[in-house]
Amino acid sequence: LKMRDYLDVATPKHRDTLVSIVLSIHKLAVERLRWTTPTTERENRLCRMCLADVETPEHVLFRCIGDDELGTHEEKAIVVRKLQDLCKSFWSDLAHMALPSAPREDTALLKALVAHRQSIEVTAKYCYRVPKNVYKLPM
């Protein structure tokens, strides 16, 4: 067994949020509405911010355009680009990975960011900052 880099995140709030995303114990609809009675079908667990797609960590972090405080989709793309620029060796190792153009690619990007030691602090901070506004809204 190997200790995961995300467990070394210095800021406790950032680390806790990142761990909750990795372990799927976050407060997003995709998980919380699994446990309601009657169970809400996955496709009906919509994002509280935009109501356009299932509220998953990947959607909230990379796709959701419903949070004015976090800016437009273009601004989120800038954040992802900054994460990409964080460590050129990381992206040269993952040359096959570009900015996600489809939701299925978001999961691969999130996994790569969480697994990369040099980007983990920035990734954890972003993962802490973004869902906070979603959590303020009722499900």
Long-range contacts (CB closer than 8 Å, 24 or more residues apart) made by 19-27: 21/57, 21/110, 21/127, 22/114, 26/57, 26/131, 27/131, 27/135
- CB neighbour list of residue 123: distance below 8 Å, 6 or more residues apart: 18, 83, 113, 114, 116
Give domain status of residue 139, yes or no: no
pLDDT at 69: 59
Q: How many CB atoms lie within 10 A of CB 61?
A: 23
Instruction: Using the structure block, give the residue that is written with the tokens 């990795």.
Output: 22
Write down the pTM of the prediction: 0.74
| Helices 120-135, 73-85: crossing angle, 10 deg rounding | 160
Quickly state the pLDDT bin for 56 (edges 50, 70, 90). very high
Residue 103 in domain:
yes
Tell me the one-letter amino acid at 54. Answer: V
Encoding tokens for residue 95? Answer: 């040359």
- For the chain, how many structural domains are there in total? 1
Query: Residue 103 has what pLDDT?
Result: 62
**How does pLDDT run across 70-118, given as a tens digit for each residue?**
555 666 666 666 655 553 444 455 555 555 566 667 888 888 888 878 7
Domain coverage including residue 84: 5-134
